[in-house]
Amino acid sequence: MAHKRIKIALLVILIAIVFTFFISFMKGMLGRPFGEKIGVVEIEGVIIESKDTMEDIVKFKEDENIKGVIIRINSPGGSVGPTQEIHKEVKKLREKKKVYVSMGSVCASGGYYIATAGEKIYANPSTITGSIGVIMEQTVIEDLLKKIGIQANTIKSGEYKDAGTPFRKMKKEEKRYLNDILKNIHEQFINDVAEGRKMPIDTAKKFSDGRIFTGTQAKTAGLVDSIGTFYDTVDDLKQTLNIKGKPVLVYGKKPFSFLKWLFSSLSHIITSQCSTTPFKYQFNYRP
């Protein structure tokens, strides 16, 4: 009799466990949004690194459930290398899926560089965009060091190894050398804008003097396609993809943390000061 009661008790426990798992499973299923999916890659703030953004792009490219992708950009630009890496990954994404771009309050310089890789660009009427150019900056503290009695000594292996150092004024030949590098990077920017916007090189050059545009001006110039909000971009992509009903927006990693940005910026500055290359080349809009 006792043995039979134990069997019944174990059976009840087993049924309870199965029922609990079933309820949890159904809650999970019911809690999931239904509908076809659109991926959203957010690019916020100064572009310092590209790893997280590229991982989001690759993830959405390989996910068959993601029908199309929106690149949401709210950035004044940033470092050249990460900007070009993201631009290239967006182009690769376009080979497999529809990619639209939505501009926030600012999508300038490196932000605009990335935007040109999208198939269609939306801007708000007052979005600050453009700023197609490259910037190099040098702060010279030579006179200040002399006033406080500090002298800098440099040992170098080549003539241009310390070109742009803050410890002395730049020589004419060093300015020419660095200017040639700047021009080369600028040409890469112009070529990618011309390719992405399907415009003649001469037209792209006309807009590539560093000037900024509002979204409305950019639309007139052919730098963006349409004036509209993020949700206008969603609606347009939804129609293009023939999605019935409300699409599910799948977001990538959280793109911006102030503390992360602060510590990354400080680390970037320290690394730059310790580097044998004194200059940073940037696609960056400075208000």
Which residues are annotated as catalytic? 109, 161
Judged by DSSP in three states, 24 sits in: helix
How far, in Å, CA of 276 to CA of 280, rounded? 11
CB atoms within 10 A of CB 95: 8
Name the amino acid, one letter, at 155: I
How far, in Å, CA of 213 to CA of 117, rounded? 19
Q: What are phi and psi of 106, to 5 degrees?
A: -135, 130
Question: Which is nearest to 108 in space by CA: 81, 80, 125, 128?
Answer: 128
Question: Which is nearest to 113 in space by CA: 38, 56, 197?
Answer: 197
Name the amino acid, one letter, at 260: K
